[in-house]
Amino acid sequence: MDAATQRRWGEQMLGLLAAGSTQMADREYVQPVADYIDPGHARRERDLLFRHTPLVVAASDELAKPGAFRTVDIDGVSAVIVRQDDGTLRAFHNVCRHRGCRVVDAEGGVARTFTCKFHSWVYGGDGALRHIPMVEAFNGIDRGQHGLVPLPVAERHGLVWLVLTAGAPLDLDAFLGPMGEILSELKIEQAGVFRFERFAEQLNWKLVVDTFLELYHVPHLHTKTVGRFIEGKGALYEQVGQHGRFVAPRKSLETALRDVPAEQRDVADHTVVIHRVFPNTIVVWQRDHVEFWTAVPDGDDPNRCIVRLWLLSPEKVVSDADRVRWEKNWDIVRGTVHAEDFPMARTIQEGFSSGAQDHVIFGRNEVGLHDFHRSLKDALAAA
Ligand code: FES
Ligand SMILES: [Fe+2]
C-alpha cells in the first residue's frame, strides 16, 4: 500500500471514527429477494456470468511444479489445470474424448499422464491423446484431433483464473483493470497455501459475498469473535471498475494513530482490506497474511452453493514453530464464518423463500453491498 493511500485512508477512517460514523451512500438500496431464489435468475447468472467470466479457481502455489495439476468442478463443468514443463498453465475439460468419462478424479497432485479409468485412454499433461488400447479399433480417427478440450486459463498476481467455456476470449488484464495493480501489491505469488477447504452451503452464492461487504453486523453478530478486533464503523469502500475494495479499521487504529502525524501513520498495520473481485471472489488482506474465498452456484438450485476457502501464509512452507499460530488463524477465519455468518445467512435464505417480502434494504452504511449488486445487475443487463 503506497504512502498516499495510507495517508488518505488514515485521515478518512479517523474522521469517520471520531464522528462515530462510516462511509455512506446517498440513499438506501432496494434489493429484490427474487435475485436470491428465482431459478430463472439463477439460470441467467450461470449462463451469462459464471460461464463467461474469468473465475478464480486456485492459488499459483498449488500448481508450483511441472506436472502439478488441480481439478475443479463449477456449475457442472469439471476442469483439470496442469502446470506445463515450460512453466505455463493449461486447462482442459476433464472429459474423455472416447466415451465422455471424467478422466481425473483426484483434487490435485503431480502426474505426467492422465489415464481414463473406463478403457485406459491416456492423455499427456499437455492434453494430447497419447495412447489408445486396441488402437486398430479406432483407425478412422485422427488422434491429433482427440486431445482433451482446452479451456481458457490465465495466471496473474498469484491466482489462477479459468473461463468455463472452450474457445471463449480471456483478456485478464482488461478484465481486472486497476484491480490488477491492487492485487499485485498483495504479493500472493510469494505466499504458500496453508490450508484449503471446499464446503457445500444451503445459501445462494451471493450471500457468501455479501457477508464480507459491510461492518454494520460486526459488533452485533460477532461480539465474541472478530468484533473484538474490528470496528463496526469507520469503513471505506472504493469501487474499482466491476470490482471493489472495502477497508475496515481494526479497533487498535483510533488509539494508535490519532495523535500520529498523517505522514507517519502506519495505517496498514491497523486495517483489514477486503477485495471483491467480480463476480464471486473475496480476497481478504490482513497485515500478515491473505485468505481468499469463492462461492459458485451448486447446480440448478439457487438455494445452494459451493464455497472454497484458501488460507495463505507469507512463506511457502510454514515452519513447525509457526504452525500453531497458523492453525489458530485457520480456526478464527473458518470458525467465525461457519459458526456465526453462515448459520445466520441460512436463515436469510429461508426467509427469502418464505414469501415474507419481495425486497430487502441495504442501508446507506452498507455501500459495499450496493456496489456488488449493481455490478451484477449491470453485467446481466449488458450480456
Ligand atoms: S471413456 Fe475414457 S477411455 Fe473410454
Ligand atoms: Fe461477519
Give the pLDDT score at 100. 98
- Would you say 237 and 371 are in contact if contact means Cβ atoms under 8 Å apart? yes
- Residue minimizing CA distance to atom 3 of ligand 1: 119
Give the pLDDT score at 179. 98
Give the pLDDT score at 16. 97
Q: Which CATH superfamily is domain 55-169 in?
A: Rieske [2Fe-2S] iron-sulphur domain (2.102.10.10)
Q: What does the alpha-carbon distance between residue 235 and residue 25 come to, in Å, rounded to a whole number?
A: 12
Intrachain domains 3-53+181-382 and 55-169 with the same fold: no
- Would you say 218 and 227 are in contact if contact means Cβ atoms under 8 Å apart? yes
Reported pTM = 0.96
- Give the amino acid at 258: R
CA dihedral 57, 60, 65, 70 (to 10 degrees): -10
User: Which residues lie below 8 Å from residue 115, measured CB to CB, with a gap of 6+?
Assistant: 103, 121, 122, 123
Domain ranges of the chain: 3-53+181-382, 55-169
Low-confidence ranges of the chain (pLDDT < 70): none
Give the pLDDT score at 139. 94
Give the pLDDT score at 304. 97
How far, in whole angstroms, is CA 305 from its chain's centroid? Answer: 13
Give the pLDDT score at 288. 87
Q: Closest Cα to residue 376, out of 166, 216, 210?
A: 210
Cα 271 to ligand 1 centre (Å): 52
Give the pLDDT score at 2. 83
Peptide bond into 169 cis (omega under 30): no
Ligand nearest to the CA of 103: 1
Return the best residue to mutate from 92, 96, 122, 134 for the ligand 1 pocket (most ligand atoms within 8 A of CB): 96
Q: What does the alpha-carbon distance between residue 127 and residue 200 come to, in Å, rounded to a whole number?
A: 30
- Residue minimizing CA distance to atom 4 of ligand 1: 119
- Would you say 326 and 311 are in contact if contact means Cβ atoms under 8 Å apart? yes
Q: Does residue 174 sit in helix, strand or coil?
A: helix
Return the best residue to mutate from 121, 123, 141 for the ligand 1 pocket (most ligand atoms within 8 A of CB): 121
Q: What does the alpha-carbon distance between residue 209 and residue 223 come to, in Å, rounded to a whole number?
A: 21
- Would you say 90 and 127 are in contact if contact means Cβ atoms under 8 Å apart? yes
Q: What is the CATH number of domain 3-53+181-382?
A: 3.90.380.10
